[in-house]
């Protein structure tokens, strides 16, 4: 069972992702709707992967990622950004990253999200074994 | 006019003030004709003045005088003609320069207005994207969840699938606005235009079959390779094929031709031309001049954003290519895409 932390100021989105991923059966999903509390929540639940919204009112996704990088126990956790202000054409068929992390254009369906999560978890496992 | 002044000069007895009247035809011809005409009239006036003066002298028995006075007068008249012609020339040049600068200013002003409009569209698109895509994601996730939980029957499954497609359609409209306002840089790769046409046709094959549209391909084999952004060029072609299909709701023929031709205005350059033709009802004349304007649509409400063709034009422009749209004499519309190729070196 892989632990996923979803950070988004929209509770309906974090709830939707949680219900869908948990329905798939392989994930335990934690939600956080306040960017300022994101680092603390990550410390507590120690996720295998973080889904992080880019545009949030208190602190944007980039700043949250930077704060997570400052914590040694959290800095290796893969992050997938979710953003509403890019179009699919901008991500189509190309490696798209923010600060080295992949991003997905909203609205993203569960199949795409689950595929991206699996790719990142596999990459993360491979790099662990290479250490 | 010179003759009239000569007669007046003779009748008034060669008064010095009357001599000034000769300036009238000189000024008129230099100003309204040109410098040479002014000089010619100036010499004619000087000779007329000489003739009148001699006649006058002869009538009162005075002796013949040298022509130095005439030469001096001819010189003065000619200088007046040249100065006036130069002034007129300067005035005309000034008018041309002012007209040119005014046109440049108007063009710059239009560009500023366009830039401001694009900035507004960009800001609006980013704002709308954030405010609309989040609720869309909520709706999409809910549909996904109920689909995962196995719908009770086929109708429920179809409803949920419709919901997902509606979310995607709404998202595509926002994406169009984002792409229009914030185009990403071109990713140019060597591309075969004919292959791109065939690939893009494959992507709309389902729609063409559904509408009973025949496809006729007349592609010139072995077209030179073009430097194109494939994703964007596919967007252009799919947009044109979809527009053509929408213009033929009761079926018809979609013809796509590619060919090479000599570039207009050069002796060595060549152009690759792509024609996309339909057999629909054509484009009404009043729409032709506005059809590339952003948010201008001829489709019923809810069926078009009015961004499709303006994006198509923009994509072609950044490739250095162009598009023209018109009606075919035999009926239907034709879009012609022109891609400039490198000039072929002459032996």
| Token couple for B95 | 């008018």
Quick check: A89 pLDDT over 60? Answer: no
Q: Which residue has the tokens 């000039």?
A: B343
| Token couple for B274 | 């792509």
pLDDT bracket for residue A92 (50, 70, 90) = very low
**Cβ-proximal residues to B250 (8 Å cutoff; 6+ apart), any chain:** B211, B212
Q: Which residue has the tokens 């698109």?
A: B125
Cβ atoms < 10 Å from Cβ of B273: 17
Reported ipTM: the value is: 0.81
pLDDT bracket for residue B256 (50, 70, 90) = very high
How confident is the prediction for chain B on average, in pLDDT? 83
Interchain proximity A107–B149, CB inside 8 Å: no
How far A83 CA sits from the closest chain B CA (Å)? 8
How far A20 CA sits from the closest chain B CA (Å)? 5
Long-range CB pairs of B205-213 (<8 Å, 24+ gap) are B207/B242, B207/B245, B208/B241, B208/B245, B208/B254, B211/B245, B211/B248, B211/B249, B211/B250, B211/B251, B212/B250, B212/B251, B213/B244, B213/B245, B213/B248, B213/B251, B213/B252, B213/B253, B213/B254
Segment B227-242 shows an average pLDDT of: 86
| Chain B residues within 8 Å of chain A (Cβ atoms) | 126, 129-130, 132-142, 144-145, 148-149, 164, 167-168, 171-172, 174-176, 178-179, 184, 187, 231-232, 235
Q: pLDDT digits over B287-323, tens only?
A: 777 777 665 566 554 455 455 787 788 888 888 899 9
3-state SS class at B277: strand
Strands B226-228 and A2-7, bridge-based pairing: unpaired
Q: Return the minimum-mean-pLDDT range out of A49-63, B176-190, B275-289, B315-329.
A: B176-190
Highest mean pLDDT among B28-32, B256-260, B266-270: B256-260
**CA–CA separation, B140 and B131 (whole Å):** 15
Interchain proximity A55–B129, CB inside 8 Å: no
Question: Which secondary structure element, helix H or strand E, spans residue A17, and what is its range?
Answer: helix A11-24
Q: Across-strand partners of B324?
A: B336
3-state SS class at B56: helix
Nearest to A89 among B132, B138, B179 (CB): B179
**Cβ-proximal residues to B198 (8 Å cutoff; 6+ apart), any chain:** B217, B219
Share of residues in chain B with pLDDT > 70 (%): 87
Segment B274-296 shows an average pLDDT of: 81
**Residue B347: predicted pLDDT:** 44
pLDDT bracket for residue A24 (50, 70, 90) = very high
* Best residue in A84, A92, A104 for a mutation probing chain B (most B CBs within 10 Å): A84
Entry pTM: 0.51
Nearest to A107 among B133, B149, B232 (CB): B133
Q: Is A67 exposed, middle or buried, given 0-12, 13-18 or 19+ CB atoms closer than 10 A?
A: middle
**CA–CA separation, B217 and B255 (whole Å):** 6
């Amino acid at each position: 069972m892989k632990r996923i932390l979803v950070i988004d100021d929209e509770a309906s989105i974090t709830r939707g992702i949680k219900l869908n991923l948990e329905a798939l059966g392989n994930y335990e999903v934690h939600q956080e709707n306040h960017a300022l509390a994101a680092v603390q929540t990550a410390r507590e639940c120690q996720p295998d992967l973080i889904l992080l919204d880019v545009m949030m009112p208190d602190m944007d996704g980039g700043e949250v990622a930077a704060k997570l990088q400052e914590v040694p126990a959290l800095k290796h956790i893969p992050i997938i950004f979710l953003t509403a202000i890019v179009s699919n054409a901008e991500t189509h068929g190309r490696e798209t990253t923010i600060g080295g992390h992949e991003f997905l254009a909203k609205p993203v369906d569960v199949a795409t999200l689950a595929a991206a999560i699996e790719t990142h978890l596999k990459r993360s496992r491979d790099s662990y074994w290479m250490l | 006019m010179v003759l009239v002044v000569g007669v007046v000069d003779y009748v008034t007895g060669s008064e010095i003030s009357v001599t000034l009247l000769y300036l009238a035809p000189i000024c008129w011809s230099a100003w309204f004709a040109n410098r040479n005409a002014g000089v010619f009239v100036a010499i004619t006036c000087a000779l007329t003045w000489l003739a009148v003066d001699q006649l006058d002298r002869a009538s009162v028995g005075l002796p013949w005088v040298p022509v130095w006075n005439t030469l001096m007068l001819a010189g003065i008249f000619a200088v007046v003609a040249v100065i006036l012609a130069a002034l007129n020339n300067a005035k005309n040049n000034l008018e041309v320069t002012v007209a040119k600068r005014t046109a440049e200013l108007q063009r710059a002003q239009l560009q500023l207005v366009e830039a401001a409009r694009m900035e507004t569209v960009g800001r609006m698109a980013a704002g709308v994207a954030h405010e609309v895509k989040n609720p869309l994601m909520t709706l999409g996730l809910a549909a996904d969840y109920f689909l995962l939980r196995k719908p009770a029957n086929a109708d429920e499954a179809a409803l949920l699938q419709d919901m997902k497609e509606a979310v995607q359609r709404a998202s595509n409209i926002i994406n169009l606005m984002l792409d229009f306002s914030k185009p990403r840089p071109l990713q140019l790769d060597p591309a075969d235009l004919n292959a791109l046409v065939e690939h893009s046709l494959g992507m709309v094959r389902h729609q063409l079959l559904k509408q009973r549209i025949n496809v006729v391909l007349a592609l010139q084999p072995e077209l030179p390779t073009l430097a194109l952004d494939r994703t964007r060029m596919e967007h252009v072609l799919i947009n044109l094929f979809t527009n053509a299909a929408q213009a033929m709701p009761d079926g018809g023929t979609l013809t796509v031709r590619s060919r090479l031709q000599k570039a207009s205005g050069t002796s060595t350059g060549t152009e690759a031309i792509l024609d996309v033709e339909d057999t629909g009802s054509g484009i009404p004349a009043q729409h032709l001049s506005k059809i590339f304007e952003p948010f201008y649509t001829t489709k019923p409400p809810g069926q078009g954003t009015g961004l499709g063709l303006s994006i198509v034009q923009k994509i072609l422009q950044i490739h250095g290519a162009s598009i023209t749209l018109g009606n075919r004499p035999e009926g239907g519309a034709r879009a012609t895409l022109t891609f400039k190729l490198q000039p072929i070196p002459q032996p």
